Amino acid sequence: MSLADFIREMPKVELHVHMEGAIQPETVLQLAARHNIALPANTVEGIRNWYNFTDFPHFVQIYLKISECLRTPDDIELMAREFLKGQAAQNIRHSEVTYTPHTHYMQKGLSFADQLAALNRARRWAEAELGVTMGIITDISRNVTPEQGMVTAEWAVSAKEDGVIALGLGGPEVGYPAQRHAAAFDYAWSNGLPCILHAGETDSAQSIWNAIRYGKTWRIGHGVRCLEDPTLVAYLREHQIPLEVSPTSNIRLKVFPSMAEHALPRLLEEGLYVTINSDDPPMFGTTLTDEYLQAAETFGWDADLIEKLVFNALRVSLLPDTKKAQLEQQFKTEFAALRERYLN
């Protein structure tokens, strides 16, 4: 067995992936046909090309077009089911998935309750039929008003016993500091809901400080630009605050010119808590499996390090402790079996 097969077959956990950003060309075509919406292309290949990320405004345009195709709770359920099938096919046994309910509420008046119920139908179906679990991170887009952000925080808290595991912060990082939404994060935190903010991808190390200070972030979405500030690196190391690193996303957003020049080796050398993720996989032409494959090939990673990174993700997931311990035990057994096949 090759190292590539080891990676393909190993059990995985994903902590940073966007539901609407993970919608496959096949699904978007199906939804567009359902609602008679014209897309820039009408074949899988054509959609794949259209998806191909060029810059942030193009990304937003695609994102909004996809949102337009999601009209009803059934559409959301279909999207979530297809997403979870794709995760299961990669042996991703648990996913913590960012979802932006406010967009769908504003665009077409879909109530949060209807959206949540659709996601939960898909979640329960996947758990029963595919053996994979999902936690939902409802996120605030940085550019909405603080009042709108608070609406998402209230929704998230109201659903914390019903599939929502955290309040997130996404969207354009530059010009919209985390403190705009400090009240929303305070509200979530004081009601027992963890907060997980994107920070330090397209904006500087200061953005990560803001996410820690004003968002009480439990993990950091990206965080790769922490390396610009040695004091921050020391803080992240001391507190072992997890970084949700999404290498291809960083490269497509021009944070690093190529995988070979990505900061992953430095983050590991600095003793930081690293996890590997895919972010918006079809738009960046990637999958979680591909992220591991490419990093392993580029940096010469061995099976030990790859296994460690998988466990890193599992251990800082927001699964309940008993479920986490159970999964950890299963993963240990499966990795031992894989290792046996790989080494022989």
Least distance to Zn ion, CB of residue 238, Å: 25
CB-CB contact of 179 with 232 (8 Å): no
Of the pair 77, 279, the CB lying nearest Zn ion is at 279
Q: Which residues contact 209 (CB under 8 A, 6 or more apart)?
A: 229, 232
Instruction: Look at residue 55 and give its three-state secondary structure.
Output: coil
CB-CB contact of 19 with 83 (8 Å): yes
Of the pair 173, 279, the CB lying nearest Zn ion is at 279
Cα distance between residue 153 and residue 74, in whole Å: 24
Of the pair 14, 279, the CB lying nearest Zn ion is at 279
Out of 201, 244, 291, 307, pick the active-site residue: 201
**270 to 309: interface string for Zn ion, x by CB under 5 A:** ---------x------------------------------
Cα distance between residue 263 and residue 222, in whole Å: 11
Least distance to Zn ion, CB of residue 123, Å: 20
Q: If 0-12 CB within 10 Å is exposed, 13-18 middle and 19+ buried, where does residue 334 land?
A: middle
Least distance to Zn ion, CB of residue 213, Å: 20
Of the pair 20, 279, the CB lying nearest Zn ion is at 279
What single letter denotes the amino acid at residue 62?
A: I
Least distance to Zn ion, CB of residue 17, Å: 8
With CB under 5 A as the rule, give the number of residues binding Zn ion: 1
Of the pair 279, 307, the CB lying nearest Zn ion is at 279
User: Taking CA 95 as the corner, what is the angle to CA 246 and CA 169, rounded to the nearest 5 degrees?
Assistant: 60
CB-CB contact of 135 with 97 (8 Å): yes
Least distance to Zn ion, CB of residue 124, Å: 25
Q: Which residue is nearest to Zn ion (CB)?
A: 279
Active site residue 201: yes
Q: Which residues contact 219 (CB under 8 A, 6 or more apart)?
A: 15, 196, 241, 242, 243, 244, 275, 316
Catalytic residues: 201
Residues that bind Zn ion (CB under 5 A): 279
